[in-house]
C-alpha cells in the first residue's frame, strides 16, 4: 500500500490532464531535455520561499538520501531506529552508523533530553531526524526540534527528513509546517523532503533538499545535471500556482482529518495497539500470539487489502504492521476487514 494521499493524486492528475494531455504538451515534455538543476532551483525556490543556492532538487528524496549518506556524511552518523532503512543501507562504506533506539515504552517517541545526551556522548558528525518518523508516525513539534538543534549546534550536520510533514499538525488550524525557519536559524541543518507522499506521485520521482550553498555546490560538481524528468518538472511548476496551492491545502487538511479518524477507528479494534501517528500511516502492534505475516496474508487473501509487516525494521521487536491511510471508503473497508480478521484469532 502506497504511503500517499490519493486525493492529492486526483488534484495533480487533473492539472496534468489539462497541462499535458488537453494542451497537447505531453510530447514536448517527453521529447525535450528537461531543464538543468540550476534552472529548476531558480524557479522552484520562489514557490518555497528559499534562496535558490540552498536548494537541491532530486530524482525522488531517495536520490538525495543517497547523495547525503555517500557524500556528505563524514565518519559517523546517528540514525534513530526504527526508521526508513535507506538511511543505514546506503551509508558510505567507510562511515559508521550508530543506532539510537527509540523507546517502545515511550511509543517510540523522542525523549529530547535523552537523545541530546546520547548524541553528545557519541559525538557524530551527522544526525538523522525523520519527522514524523517512519514507520511509527511520531511527530516532534517545531519547538522540541528547536530544543534539540540548540543543544546540538556543534554537530557538523543535522539532516531533518520531512517527507511526511504535510500530514502533521500543531493545532486544529492544521497549517502547513516546515523547517525552513530552522534551516535559516541553524547553520548545520539539512532538510530533506519527498514530494511522493503528500502529492501522491511516487512514480514521478520528485524530492528536494535545503542545505548550505557549499554543500549544494559540492554535489553539483559531481553531476546531478539533468536528474529530473519532464513530468516532474511540469509538476514543479504547479507549486508556484496560487490556485493549485489553495486547492492542495484544502485536500491536505481533509486528508489529515481522514487519517486521524482512521487511527481512532483502529484504536477501537480490540487487541490492536496503535502508536500515536501524525503521518498518513499507523504502526500497529498485534498481540504476540498473532504472527504479523499471518495477519497480513489474511487481509490480502480474504479481503484484497495489502498492508505491510514491519518486522523487518531494525529496532522493532514483536508483531508489527504498518497501515497506510487511503480514501474514506477504503479506510472504512479496511477497518471492517481488520476487525473481522482480529476476531479469527
Nearer to a second copy, 16 or 72 (CB): 16
CB of 27 to a second copy, least distance (A): 5
> Which helix (H) or strand (E) element contains residue 58?
strand 55-58
Nearer to a second copy, 225 or 300 (CB): 225
In contact, 338 and 322? CB cutoff 8 Å: no
CB of 234 to a second copy, least distance (A): 9
Determine the Cα–Cα distance for residues 345 and 342; give it in Å rounded to an integer.
6
* C-alpha closest to that of 138 among 209, 82, 60, 194: 82
In contact, 320 and 294? CB cutoff 8 Å: no
CB of 67 to a second copy, least distance (A): 8
Nearer to a second copy, 223 or 318 (CB): 223
CB of 325 to a second copy, least distance (A): 15
Nearer to a second copy, 222 or 264 (CB): 222
Pairing of strands 157-161, 126-130: parallel
Nearer to a second copy, 30 or 39 (CB): 30
Beta bridge partners of 81: 101
* C-alpha closest to that of 296 among 279, 312, 310: 310
Q: How far is CA 340 from the centre of its chain?
A: 31
Task: Tell me which residues touch a second copy (CB under 8 A).
Answer: 2, 4, 6, 9, 12-13, 16, 21, 26-34, 59-60, 62-63, 65-66, 69-70, 86, 90, 93, 196, 200-205, 221-233
CB of 229 to a second copy, least distance (A): 5
CB of 305 to a second copy, least distance (A): 16
* C-alpha closest to that of 73 among 51, 55, 106, 95: 95
Nearer to a second copy, 135 or 265 (CB): 135
Amino acid at each position: 500500500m502506497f504511503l500517499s494521499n490519493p486525493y492529492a493524486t486526483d488534484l495533480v492528475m487533473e492539472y496534468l490532464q489539462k497541462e499535458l494531455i488537453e494542451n497537447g504538451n505531453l510530447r514536448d515534455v517527453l521529447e525535450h531535455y528537461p531543464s538543468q538543476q540550476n534552472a529548476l532551483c531558480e524557479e522552484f525556490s520562489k514557490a518555497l520561499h528559499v534562496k535558490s543556492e540552498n536548494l537541491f532538487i532530486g530524482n525522488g528524496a531517495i536520490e538525495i538520501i543517497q547523495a547525503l549518506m555517500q557524500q556528505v556524511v563524514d565518519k559517523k552518523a546517528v540514525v534513530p531506529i526504527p526508521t526508513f532503512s535507506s538511511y543505514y543501507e546506503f551509508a558510505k562504506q567507510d562511515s559508521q552508523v550508530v543506532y539510537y533506539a527509540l523507546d517502545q515504552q515511550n511509543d517510540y517517541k523522542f525523549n529530547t533530553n535523552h537523545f541530546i545526551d546520547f548524541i553528545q556522548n557519541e559525538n557524530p558528525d551527522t544526525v538523522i531526524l525523520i519527522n514524523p518518523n517512519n514507520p511509527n508516525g511520531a511527530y516532534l513539534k517545531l519547538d522540541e526540534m528547536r530544543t534539540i538543534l540548540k543543544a546540538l549546534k556543534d554537530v557538523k550536520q543535522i539532516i531533518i527528513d520531512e517527507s511526511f510533514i504535510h500530514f502533521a499538525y500543531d493545532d486544529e488550524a492544521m497549517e502547513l509546517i516546515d523547517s525552513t525557519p530552522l534551516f535559516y536559524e541553524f547553520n548545520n541543518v539539512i532538510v530533506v523532503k519527498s514530494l511522493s507522499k503528500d502529492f501522491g506521485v511516487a512514480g514521478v520521482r520528485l524530492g528536494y533538499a535545503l542545505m548550505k550553498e557549499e554543500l549544494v555546490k559540492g554535489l553539483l560538481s559531481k553531476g546531478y545535471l539533468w536528474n529530473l524528468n519532464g513530468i516532474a518538472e511540469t509538476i514543479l511548476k504547479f507549486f508556484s500556482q496560487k490556485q493549485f496551492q489553495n486547492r492542495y491545502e484544502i485536500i491536505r487538511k481533509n486528508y489529515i482529518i481522514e487519517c486521524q479518524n482512521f487511527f481512532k477507528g483502529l484504536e477501537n479494534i480490540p487487541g490492536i495497539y496503535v502508536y500515536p501517528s501524525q503521518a498518513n500511516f499507523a504502526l500497529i502492534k498485534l498481540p504476540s500470539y498473532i504472527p504479523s505475516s499471518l495477519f497480513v496474508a489474511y487481509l490480502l487473501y480474504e479481503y484484497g487489502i495489502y498492508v505491510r509487516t514491519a518486522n523487518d525494521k531494525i529496532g522493532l521487536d514483536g508483531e508489527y504492521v504498518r497501515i497506510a491511510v487511503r480514501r474514506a471508503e477504503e479506510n472504512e473497508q479496511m477497518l471492517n476487514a481488520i476487525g473481522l480478521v482480529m476476531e479469527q484469532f
